[in-house]
Amino acid sequence: MKQNDAATDTGANHETDQQTLFGDRSGQLAKESRVPAGKPDAGAHGTAVTLDDVSISFGDHVAVRNVTLQLPAREVTALVGPSGCGKTSVLRAINRLHDHTGGVVRGTIRLGSLDVYGTDVQPEVLRSRIGMVFQKPNPFPTMSIFDNVISGLRFNGVRNKRLLREMGIAALHNAALWDIVKDRLHQPALRLSGGQQQRLCIARALAIEPEVLLMDEPCSALDPVATAKIEDLIRHLSGEVTIALVTHNMFQAARVSDNVAVFLLGEDRVGELVEVGPTDRVFDTPSDARTKAYVTGHVG
Amino acid sequence: MSKLPSMQVALDGAMPDMGLAEVARRRLVVRDSARRSIGRRRTAGRAMQVICLLAVPIALAPLVALAIATVSKGAGALSIGFLAHAPTPEGVPGGGISTAIVGSGEIIAYAIALAVPLGLFIALFLFERPGPIASAIRFSADVMSGVPSIIIGIFAYAVYVERFHHFSDVAAGFALGVLMLPIMVRANEEAMRTVSVDLWEAGISLGARRSRVARSVVLRGALPGVVTGNLLALARGVGETAPLLFTVASPTFAMTLLIFNDATQPYPDAQQTAWGTALVLLALVLILSVIARTVAWTLNRKTR
Ligand SMILES: Nc1ncnc2c1ncn2[C@@H]1O[C@H](COP(=O)(O)OP(=O)(O)OP(=O)(O)O)[C@@H](O)[C@H]1O
Ligand SMILES: [Mg+2]
C-alpha cells in the first residue's frame, strides 16, 4: 500500500512535470539568476518561522514527529514528501488550524520570536499575520470578486472604505490578477476559471499583508499554464513574503524554492523530516540516502 | 541549477503482474456482461420512468382537487367587503372576516418575532458548539416537531392564559412560535451544514473569529436554505388551528378558527364565509411558498 501510494503520486507528477518543464524554461532561468551562488544556509534575512521538535497527532495516531525546521525569512521553502507524511499537518500547525480539527501539536513553533502556542497569543491575531492558500481554490461563493479580496481585511475589522479599496487593488496587482478582473470586480467569484480562482485566493491571502504565506499544493487542481502563472507569482512574492510551499512536484520545488524540506514516512508509518537545506544542494547532493531515493523517484 | 531529478517510477510490488492475456480475459468478461444485460437494464430504466410519470398525477390530484373545491366554493364569498368588514352575528347575512385577517396577522407576527431569531441563534449554537448539549437540543427539537399541535395549544394555555387570566394574540403567537421553532432550527442547521468546511477554514485562516465566520460565511452561504426553511415552517404554522383553540378569545380573531367555527354552523351564509376564508388562507400559503422559492432562487443566482 505504501509503495503503491508513493508510486502513483510520483508517477502522476512525472507527466505534468514534463509538460510544464518544456513550457517553462524561462522561469527556471529567472530563478537561477535570482538566487546567488553559495548563499548561506541561514537565509539572508534571518528566520521567519521556527519549528522545534514539533510532533502532531490525531487521537492515538501520530501523523508526524520531531520536526525541527526553519523557514528563512523572505524565501520559498518547499515541503516535499510522499502522501500522508504530514506536510499538510505541519503547515496547519503553523497557523493553528489544528485548534479546530482535533489535532494536537507538541513542541515549539515560533513566528519571529513569538511562541505561536503561547498562552497569551490570540489565534485570530496570529492568523492575520499568516496567509494560507489551500489545495482546492475556495473563494467565498456568496461574495463578489472584490469582496473576496477584501474579506480578510473586513474580518480583521478594517472599515475604512478607501483603505479597503486601495489594499484590495494592491493585492489584486500583487496576485497578477488585476488586468483580468478589473472590469468585473463585482461579479460573483465563481465565474472565474479554476486557476483564476486560485489566484483570487492568493490575492485574498495577500490583502491582509501577511508575513508568512502557507501554500498547500496550490497548483494540484490546475493545468500547466495556470501552474506556471502561480509559480511565477510565487517567485515574484518571495523577497516580500516568507513562503512555505507544499508540493508533490519535484520539478516545481526545483523551479521555485530556495530551500527544500524532505519528509518521509518512517518504519511505523509516522512522518518525519529527513533532510532540509538549499534546494540546489538537496537535489544535487542529498546527504540522506532516503532523500536521494525519494527525489530521484526510487521510493523505498 | 541542479540537474533535474529523474522520475523513474518503481512499480514493483504495486500490482501483481497479470500478463496481457489475463487483462484481455477480464475485458471480455465486462464487455460480455454489458452486452448481455443491456436489454434488462433498458427495461428497468423504462419501467422506472413509467412509475415516475404515473406518480406525478397521483401526487398532484389531491392538490388540484383541493384547489378546485376551495376556489369554486369560496370564490363566491370573496369581495372587498368580505376582506374589509367585521363579521356579523351568526345568522345575520353580510359582514366579512377583517377581524380574523388582522388577528391572524398579529398572531403570525408574534410567532415570527419569537421563532425566527430564536431559530437562527439555536441553529448557530448547534453548528458552533457540537457536543452533548447540542445533541440534546437537536433531539428535543426532533421530539418537539412531532408533538401534536393540540398539546402545544394546551401548553400555551397553561403557561400563558391560565397565569395571566386572559386570552390573547400574544399567547396564540407564542403557541405558533413554539410549533414552528423546531422545524426552523432543523431547517437552518441543515442549510448551514451545506456550507463546505473549505470555506469555513478559508475564513478562519484569514484571522476571522469563529462567530464572524459563522455569520459572514456560514450563515450567508446558508441563506437561501434558511429563508426557504423558515417560510415553509411559517406556511405550516399559518394553517394551524389547534394551538389557537385555547389561546384566542373568539373564533372571529383568527382565520383557521373562523373556518372551524363557521363550517360547522347550520347557516349557508356561515358555510360560505368558511369557504371564503379557506380560499384566503390557501392563497396566503401559496404566496408564502412562492416567495420562498423566489428568494432562494434569487439568492442562488447571485452566486453564479
Ligand atoms: N483531521 C485529521 N484527523 C485524523 N487524522 C488526520 C487528520 N488530518 C490528517 N490526518 C492524518 O495525518 C497523517 C498526515 O496527513 P497529512 O494530510 O498531513 O499528509 P500530507 O503529507 O499532507 O499528505 P498529502 O500529500 O496526501 O496531502 C495522515 O495519516 C492522515 O490520515
Ligand atoms: Mg496534504
pLDDT tens digit string along A94-130?
Answer: 999 999 888 999 999 999 999 999 999 999 999 999 9
Check residue A83 and give its pLDDT.
Answer: 93
Q: Band the pLDDT of A226: cuts 50, 70, 90.
A: confident
Cα A54 to ligand 1 centre (Å): 15
How far the first Cα of chain A sits from its last, in Å, is 12
Q: What gap in Å lies between CA B21 and CA B68, rounded to an integer? A: 69
Which whole number is the average pLDDT over B240-256? 88
Q: Give yes or no for a contact between A266 and A30, defined as CB atoms under 8 angstroms apart.
A: no
C-alpha dihedral sign at B184, B190, B195, B197: positive
Q: Mean pLDDT for chain A?
A: 85
- Answer whether B10 sits within 8 Å of A140, measured CB to CB: no
The verdict on residue A169 lying in a domain is: yes
Q: What is the percent of chain A where pLDDT is above 70?
A: 84
The verdict on residue A7 lying in a domain is: yes
**In this predicted structure, which of A270-279, B135-144, B287-296 has the lowest mean pLDDT?**
B287-296
Q: What gap in Å lies between CA B74 and CA A47, rounded to an integer? A: 80
Say whether pLDDT at A20 is over 90: no
Q: What gap in Å lies between CA A184 and CA A195, rounded to an integer? A: 16
Reported as a single tens digit per residue, the pLDDT across A57-99 is: 999 999 999 999 999 999 999 999 999 999 999 999 999 999 9
CATH number of the domain that A133 lies in? Answer: 3.40.50.300
Check residue A42 and give its pLDDT.
Answer: 53
- Residue of B14, B203, B302 with shortest CB distance to A188: B302
Q: What is the percent of chain B where pLDDT is above 70?
A: 92
Q: Atom of ligand 1 at shortest distance to CA of A87?
A: 21
The residue with cell 536521494 is A292
Say whether pLDDT at B226 is over 60: yes
B118 φ/ψ sector (left φ>0, alpha ψ -120 to 50, else beta): alpha
Reported as a single tens digit per residue, the pLDDT across B140-155 is: 999 998 999 999 989 8
Check residue B180 and give its pLDDT.
Answer: 94
Check residue A6 and give its pLDDT.
Answer: 39
Say whether pLDDT at A8 is over 80: no
Question: Which among B181, B150, B141, B105 has a CA at the least distance from the CA of B247?
Answer: B150
State the residue range of the domain holding A86. Answer: 2-33+47-298
- Answer whether B11 sits within 8 Å of A7, measured CB to CB: yes
Cα A101 to ligand 1 centre (Å): 12
Reported as a single tens digit per residue, the pLDDT across B112-134 is: 999 999 999 999 999 999 899 99
Say whether pLDDT at B95 is over 90: no
Q: Band the pLDDT of B289: cuts 50, 70, 90.
A: confident
Check residue B14 and give its pLDDT.
Answer: 53
B2: chain A residues, CB-CB within 8 Å: 254, 279-280, 283-284
**Residue to test with chain B: of A1, A10, A83, A138, most B Cβ within 10 A:** A138
Check residue A43 and give its pLDDT.
Answer: 63
Check residue A287 and give its pLDDT.
Answer: 86
Check residue B105 and give its pLDDT.
Answer: 92
Q: Atom of ligand 1 at shortest distance to CA of A135?
A: 27
Say whether pLDDT at A148 is over 90: yes
Check residue A131 and give its pLDDT.
Answer: 95
Check residue B139 and give its pLDDT.
Answer: 95
Is A206 near ligand 1, meaning CB less than 6 Å away? Answer: no
- Answer whether A297 sits within 8 Å of B5, measured CB to CB: yes
Q: What gap in Å lies between CA A54 and CA A64, rounded to an integer? A: 8
**Residue to test with chain A: of B6, B7, B201, most A Cβ within 10 A:** B7
Burial A33-54 (b: 16+ CB within 10 A, else e): eebeeebeeebeeebbbbbeeb
Is A101 near ligand 1, meaning CB less than 6 Å away? Answer: yes
pTM: 0.80
Check residue B1 and give its pLDDT.
Answer: 41
Which whole number is the average pLDDT over A150-158? 96
Q: How far is CA A192 from CA A200, A201, B195, B262, in A?
A: 9, 11, 20, 60
Reported as a single tens digit per residue, the pLDDT across B138-196 is: 999 999 989 999 999 898 888 888 888 788 888 899 999 999 999 999 999 999 999 99
Check residue A146 and give its pLDDT.
Answer: 96
**In this predicted structure, which of A43-57, A179-193, A209-223, B81-95 has the lowest mean pLDDT?**
B81-95
Q: What gap in Å lies between CA B94 and CA B276, rounded to an integer? A: 13
Domain ranges of chain B: 98-303
Highest mean pLDDT among A30-39, B4-13, B155-164: B155-164
Say whether pLDDT at B31 is over 60: yes
Q: For residue B106, what are the contacts with CB-CB under 8 A and spacing of at least 6?
A: B169, B173
A209 φ/ψ sector (left φ>0, alpha ψ -120 to 50, else beta): left
Q: How far is CA A251 from CA A22, A178, A275, A284, A294, in A?
A: 11, 28, 17, 13, 13
Say whether pLDDT at A17 is over 50: no
> From the DSSP assignment, how many helices (H) and strands (E) are in chain A?
12, 10
The verdict on residue A178 lying in a domain is: yes
Q: What gap in Å lies between CA B225 and CA B207, rounded to an integer? A: 27
- Answer whether B207 sits within 8 Å of A4, measured CB to CB: no
Check residue A5 and give its pLDDT.
Answer: 42
- Closest residue by Cα to atom 31, ligand 1, is A84
Q: Which residue has the higher pLDDT, B251 or B40?
A: B40
Provide the number of structural domains found in chain A: 1
Residue type, B7: M
Q: Band the pLDDT of B251: cuts 50, 70, 90.
A: confident
The verdict on residue A127 lying in a domain is: yes
Q: What gap in Å lies between CA A149 and CA A167, rounded to an integer? A: 9
Say whether pLDDT at A28 is over 70: no
Highest mean pLDDT among A34-43, B212-221, B240-249: B212-221
- Regarding the domain with residue range B98-303, which homologous superfamily does it belong to in the CATH classification? MetI-like (1.10.3720.10)
Q: For residue B184, what are the contacts with CB-CB under 8 A and spacing of at least 6?
A: B115, B116, B119, B120, B123, B229, B230, B233
Q: Mean pLDDT for chain B?
A: 88
